[in-house]
Amino acid sequence: MRWWLAAVFITLVPAYLGAQNATPATREDILKLFTAMDTKEQVRQTMQQVMAQSQVMAHQAMKKRHPEMTPEQLARMDKESAEIARSFPVQDIVEDMIPVYQKHLTKDDVDAMIAFYSSPSGKKILHDMPAIMAESMEAVYPRLQKNMDEILRRLDEKADEEEKNSSPKKPQPKQK
């Protein structure tokens, strides 16, 4: 029994100490990782896909809720969405991400990730990820739309109920 406890102790203590002594990733380490991952471009592409998918959902929701909307009004809404996407602060987002990555990744983690994303397989994943994400969004869109329709229906019901409950009641005429 003592031998078994000694073996467990000898096995687990170095692993625990190794985890405690792991060198934290520096800002520079994370920036190198972001360069290897082409993070700025990934954020831009993701934002464009999200905006495009949101635009489709917004059109459908607006047409259901406001059937009188004209194509010109929808086009203006699209133009505003495009302006939002163009002015999206990618660099600020990248800066915000650095401490999060530092919190969760060690220098060894980051070095391994840089090696992977610099490899042919890593580059392939980075190249294909926007298409994978777009196709995934397209695949889940019907479910999201169904859920969105239900949420909007419930919100409309609640708004109608609140309006009915908050409107002043007309005084009833006195009976003689």
Residues 47-89: tens digit of each pLDDT: 777 777 777 777 778 778 888 888 888 888 888 877 777 777 8
Cα angle: 30, vertex 96, 125; to 5 degrees:
50
Closest residue by Cα to residue 59 from 70, 44, 49, 45: 70
pTM over 0.75: no
The label of the residue with tokens 């708004």 reads: 159
Q: Which tokens in the block code for residue 133? A: 């994400």
106: β partners: 24
- 121, 127 contact by CB (below 8 A): no
Q: Which tokens in the block code for residue 157? A: 């019901």
pLDDT, position 142: 85
pLDDT tens column, 132-168: 887 888 888 888 888 888 888 888 888 888 888 876 6
Q: What is the mean pLDDT of the chain?
A: 81
Is the pLDDT confidence value at 110 over 90?
A: yes
Q: Which residues contact 87 (CB under 8 A, 6 or more apart)?
A: none
pLDDT, position 157: 87
